[in-house]
Structure 1
Amino acid sequence: MGTISASLRRLVIQRAGNRCEYCGISQIGQVATFHIDHIIPVVAGGETIAENLALACVSSLRKGARQVLEDSETGEVVSIFNPRKQVWKEHFVWRDVQVIGLTATGRATLQALDLNRPAMLAIRTEEELLGRHPPP
């Protein structure tokens, strides 16, 4: 894995508004420190540059080195959501504290990262009470 400089880390965190770029949860108040994710994994030739990095909560660790996923609804093989090249609101929508996938990419990413598991729903419910959910 390429080394991420302190200045590059700050840029990624600031650009993300201190929120996970896959699920939108705020890093403020979380026990686990968010990490910097290589959108295209290093093992697949992904570079350690701003255009290939995203702030990510622990959910994105489920992504691993996968770049493509299968949409369980259509069987279509699609690329995992890319926060640098795609718009979150075109692929996902909020229904209270649940993330709903609108497209094959959204549904496949949602399932692969298990974004609606009970722990995430509980965190978002608490975040809602604190005024930090839904994301702006």
Structure 2
Amino acid sequence: MRSQNVLIIGTCVSAIDSASSDEVQFFHPRQNLWREHFQINMEAGMVTGITAVGKITVEKLKMNSAAQVAARKLWVRLGLFP
């Protein structure tokens, strides 16, 4: 079974930032530190990009879809997240 993120971005590694028109690389977990690019609101279950890399990744991977947010909130209640 393919990851939902793979289905969304395919083989793309970057996207155009609508705010700056710059090409921005997606977050790479082996090369980037999560805390440098994202913040999370534990109560709301929402992830916010704090850099261009974080913002484009949140947007293109749909990290705040209803399903993702609901799952995060459940994980927080169960003590499984972060």
TM-score bin, normalised by smaller chain: 0.7 to 0.9
Name the CA distance, whole Å, in 2 between partners of 1:58 and 1:85. 21
| Aligned partners of 1:110 and 1:116 also within 8 Å | yes
* Structure 1 residues 60 and 128, CA gap change in structure 2 (3 angstroms): farther
Query: Is there any run of 5+ residues in structure 2 with no aligned partner, and where?
Result: none
Who is 1:105 aligned against? 53
Identity of aligned residues (%): 32
User: What's the counterpart of residue 65 of structure 2?
Assistant: 117
Unaligned runs of 5+ in 1: 1-32, 36-56
Whole-Å separation in 2 of the counterparts to 1:78 and 1:109: 9
1:69 and 2:15 aligned: yes
How far the C-alpha of 1:60 sits from its partner, in A, is 4.2
Q: Which runs of 4+ in 1 moved over 4 A?
A: none
Q: 1:70 touches 1:78 (CA, 8 Å); kept in 2? A: yes
- 2:29 corresponds to which of 65, 71, 83: 83
Q: CA deviation digits over 1:80-100, x for unaligned, max 9?
A: 111111111111111121110
The residue identity in structure 2 corresponding to 1:112 is K
For these two proteins, the number of residue pairs brought into alignment is: 80
RMSD (CA atoms): 1.7
Kindly provide the CA deviation profile for residues 84-127 of structure 1, in whole angstroms up to 9, marking residues without a partner as x. 11111111111121110011111001111000000111111111
Distance in 2, matches of 1:121 and 1:104, equals 21
Partner amino acid for 2:22?
Answer: E
